[in-house]
Structure 1
Amino acid sequence: MSSQMSVAASARAEWRAIAICLFITIAAFQFGFDSSYYSGILAMEPFIKEYGHYDSASGAYVLSASMQSLTTSIINVGELVGALSSFVVDDRIGRRGGLFVSSAFVVAGVIFQVAADDLGLLIVGRLLLGYAVGLISCLVPLYVADCSPARFRGALVSIYQFDVGLGLLFGVVVDNATKNRNDSGAYRIPMGVQLIFPVILVPGLILFAPESPRWLLTKGKVEEARKSLRRLHGDRPDFIESEILYITGLIEEERRTEGSWMDLLKWNADGRKAYLGMALQAWQQASGINFITSYGIVFFTAIGITNTFLIQMGLYLVPMPAVWLNQYCVERFGRRAMLLISTSAVAVVLLIVGGAGSASDKTLALDQTIVAMVYIFMIVFNLALGPAVWVVTSEISTGPNRSKLMATSTGANWFCSWLVTFTFPYLFDADAAGLSAKVGFIYGGLMIGAATWIFFFLPETSGRTLEEIQVMFQQGIPARKFKTYQEIDMTRQLALEEKEGAHVTEVDHV
């Protein structure tokens, strides 16, 4: 009971910071919506007639595997560029400033796609939109990790994945509402709906969401950082001043060991963090999640399932409780344990999908088994592999190279996302390799590798401040000892205790 009261008291004291972080994660809707809505329009007759070709053998218009691959995966190229350039954007104009830039690119990308009357303009629009999503995928977790109270950081960063899931669901809902239209509005309306997200986000950025106080202090903007902390934590002068002194001290220490891109290429603390972040993001995409989000409706249609839009809608609705459960589990049981459970379960499910797809006699029962397994896949993926990866990569991106580390790990995510999205039609479609549901064997085998890697190499970061995580990497603590390691540098420990004491005092006065 006292623990519950403590959590409630902390939430009351930090309600402003929590609310602002929740609002910022709205940007993740953009990522989810684009992935799912485009999967839907690939199955719409007006879109197929506009961008496909007439197949005399079937007597219908079809989209070739190469056309599906190009237009679906090209957004990942933009996302990769956006992620890698996020360091420059973040360094020059900040986390909040970068979200203004991403909103501008969303608007430009939507205009190009809606106005497109040929493949070239469609590709340009998807590239611009991808650049925006690439920025969002780096800057939102960084902003939330900077501004959220340490006690709620894991849960708040996990909300990013939850909002991606809501965006996925919203995309299919809009597709389902327009799929029966016989004109170009069937696909142009879902394209245009994406303007909703910057229309909501930009006013909030202007009116109440401050820049990251950590970023402001790195630029020497102390008074602005003080205002930012006041916006996040309320008028609590003692706490704000202690926070400024604490963060400033950390920044000065980081500058004494000034970072560079070359540090990420050496096997030192930052090189290890870069490797872990990129590998973890790559393993997430190796699950094949993009073949479901980018081609789900095409996948279900190809194996003979009807009511594909409704099935896809349910596919994004069912795992929502798992995302919420993850926010409890990653704090209660740890990031590493939950990722092991999630990757192992995903491996089993995908191998069953591959087995069902290998049967010589195709039956309704087998098709239903595949659909059921895909539903279970979405549940166990969102239990940890989806949201917890973003939590861990934002937590291990510490020290003077923090933005660079986040950019490289997220860049790895988008590169592998592109790889899966680009290759899937060639693996799945009948006019290419024709594997159909047997692709489950490929992704399932990769997930066995992911579980093995996590067991041996991934450190446990739950219950640690960003500063403690930085110290453990600097001291070269093995992954298996992160959870129990106690010998934190005394100077840092005293600073941490002073900060915690100030925080507890403020909470007691609420």
Structure 2
Amino acid sequence: MSVTTTARAEWRAIAICLFITIAAFQFGFDSSYYSGILVMEPFLRSFGHYDPSTGDYALNPSIESITTSSINIGEFLGAVSSFMIDDKIGRRGGLFVSNACVLIGVIFQVSAPQMALLIVGRLFLGYAVGLISCLVPLYVADCSPARFRGALVSLYQFNVGLGLLLGILVDEATKDRTDSGAYRIPMAVQLVFPIILTPGLLFFAPESPRWLLGKGKVEKARVALRKLYGDRPDFIEAEIREIMQLIEEERISAGSWGDLLTWNIDGRKAYLGMALQAWQQASGVNFITSYGVVFFTAIGTTNSFLVQMGLYLTPMPAVWFSQYCVERFGRRPMLILSSCAVAVVLLIVGGAGSTTDKTRALDQTIVAMVYIFMVVFNLALGPAVWVVTSEISTGPNRSKLMASSTGTSWFCSWLVTFTFPYLFNPNADNLNAKVGFIYGSLMVAAVVWIFFFLPETSGRTLEEIHEIFQRGVPARKFKGYQPSESTEPTSLDEKNMAHITELNSAQEA
């Protein structure tokens, strides 16, 4: 069946998954708006100290590091506890919890008269983002049609990018204010996202059918599948039989955290997911999203807010293009290409920063390289990592695998965010743009790791991926491996036949 015909038949599931990815705006906005308020005069007066030598207010590196990275601690806690929330109340229920945490976090931040309350607010917001980063990819991977799963999970990263852009746009609109509204307004804008998401979760986005069937709620799963795919009884019953078959297999081999700590099927999945997320953060992307305005101001850029705005806008076409590329060429080749390009760009930034004779041309070169970084990062290293980690998180430990890989992402994100002021600032190690050497070298190592260890998961159902892992297939043989040699009819065969019959009916209609 053509892509258009498939999309027509499954438009409900696609639309619901598109809506759920709105939660990623919170992730992106929270990462970018704080970068802007770090250089706003009213914020520096409220939370910084007066420097007599310059006649200006400033934040010392430790305060800058703690306030910026505190959100990553919340994100880590949200990610590692997401499996418990997911197990108790489901993917959809977990998103309600994240919305509540956003509300609490915004109230604490906007009303904060002192640093302690500001940090508490950022911890709550981080917890919400940690839940979102686990539950949204899981929900989309569960509910999206297999043919569109890679593109829809990639859209999560695209909406993160839109959130980054929105955050700096709001900062640009308020930066010239002389009162506390300069930074309180960007903080308050975050309430928009749960206000949009909550009604949709209440009225038309169902709980994941996989989660419902895992809890024995068969009739509710039928209702959820009807919301996703319409009134298609044959397809829905075949889908239920397939999922129930997998669930029964999972119950026979009941999952536990111990499975992730030994080198077996799930231990391998945990290692791959955690390592891949760590390599993504090793690119140093967080020093751009969390400190971009600070970075550009330090190297002498005249309008750091506009430069940062352009930086978030430029890679948007790359994110869209990546949705095609990861399906057409595969996850693994695109990740290798993207990581190679990121390594080259970062090493050039480090080289430009190590020159003793500073010129405007060199500063412009650094800015240009950072722009190119964002394009090649979003070509695959940004979106495809979330696609792969959601795909390899299969089997009885699905939510635990996703929690462990996403928790690793947030821990490494915190590490980059916490250490950057000490590496970069002139009153610390004063590396300036030479930090590019550190992140660039790490990306060279990432290319080697992806080449030897990362399997190709494109074009597979989640059930097929789980079966291939069970058979212990090496990473290099994943792509061409046939998951089952059995010629007996299976529930998957039945579902595919029902699917083809209904698509033909849709096409004729």
TM-score normalised to structure 1 length: 0.98
1:409 aligns to 2:405 (yes or no): yes
1:54 is paired with a residue whose SS is: strand
Which AA in structure 2 matches 1:201?
Answer: L
Which AA in structure 1 matches 2:299?
Answer: I
Choose which of 63, 70, 95 in structure 2 pairs with 1:99: 95
CA distance in 1 between counterparts of 2:222 and 2:428 reads: 59
RMSD between superposed Cα atoms in Å: 0.9
1:43 aligns to 2:39 (yes or no): yes
1:294 is paired with a residue whose SS is: helix
1:215 aligns to 2:206 (yes or no): no
Instruction: Give me the identity figure in percent.
Output: 76
1:499 aligns to 2:481 (yes or no): no
Deviates more, 1:106-115 or 1:233-242: 233-242
2:490 is paired with a residue whose SS is: helix
Deviates more, 1:482-491 or 1:353-362: 482-491
CA distance in 2 between counterparts of 1:481 and 1:499 reads: 27
How many pairs does the alignment contain? 506
Which AA in structure 1 matches 2:119?
Answer: I
Choose which of 240, 247, 253 in structure 2 pairs with 1:244: 240
CA distance in 2 between counterparts of 1:490 and 1:172 reads: 55
Deviations 1:383-418 (A, max 9, x none): 000000000000000000000000000000000000
Q: Which residue in 2 is equivalent to 1:395?
A: 391
Choose which of 318, 334, 337 in structure 1 pairs with 2:333: 337
Choose which of 369, 372, 376 in structure 2 pairs with 1:373: 369
- Structure 1 residues 100-249: aligned runs within 5 Å: 100-249=96-245
1:61 is paired with a residue whose SS is: strand
* CA-CA distance at 1:253 after TM superposition: 1.1
1:21 aligns to 2:17 (yes or no): yes
CA distance in 1 between counterparts of 2:240 and 2:493 reads: 15
Deviations 1:290-344 (A, max 9, x none): 0000000000000111111000000000000000000000000000000000000
1:266 is paired with a residue whose SS is: coil
CA distance in 1 between counterparts of 2:38 and 2:58 reads: 10
* Equivalent pair of 2:226/2:232 in contact (CA under 8 Å): yes
1:473 aligns to 2:473 (yes or no): no
Which AA in structure 2 matches 1:235?
Answer: D
Q: Which residue in 2 is equivalent to 1:449?
A: 445
1:438 aligns to 2:434 (yes or no): yes
Deviations 1:340-398 (A, max 9, x none): 00000000000000000011111000000000000000000000000000000000000
Q: Which residue in 1 is equivalent to 2:265?
A: 269
1:490 aligns to 2:486 (yes or no): yes
CA distance in 2 between counterparts of 1:247 and 1:494 reads: 12
2:50 is paired with a residue whose SS is: strand
* CA-CA distance at 1:494 after TM superposition: 3.2
2:2 is paired with a residue whose SS is: helix
- Seen in structure 2, the aligned counterparts of structure 1 residues 491 and 63 have a Cα distance that, compared at 3 Å, is farther
Which AA in structure 2 matches 1:304?
Answer: G
- Seen in structure 2, the aligned counterparts of structure 1 residues 487 and 42 have a Cα distance that, compared at 3 Å, is closer
1:308 aligns to 2:304 (yes or no): yes
CA distance in 2 between counterparts of 1:207 and 1:501 reads: 31
- Structure 1 residues 38-77: aligned runs within 5 Å: 38-77=34-73
Gapped regions of structure 1 (runs ≥ 5): none
- Seen in structure 2, the aligned counterparts of structure 1 residues 487 and 247 have a Cα distance that, compared at 3 Å, is closer
TM-score normalised to structure 2 length: 0.99
* CA-CA distance at 1:493 after TM superposition: 7.4
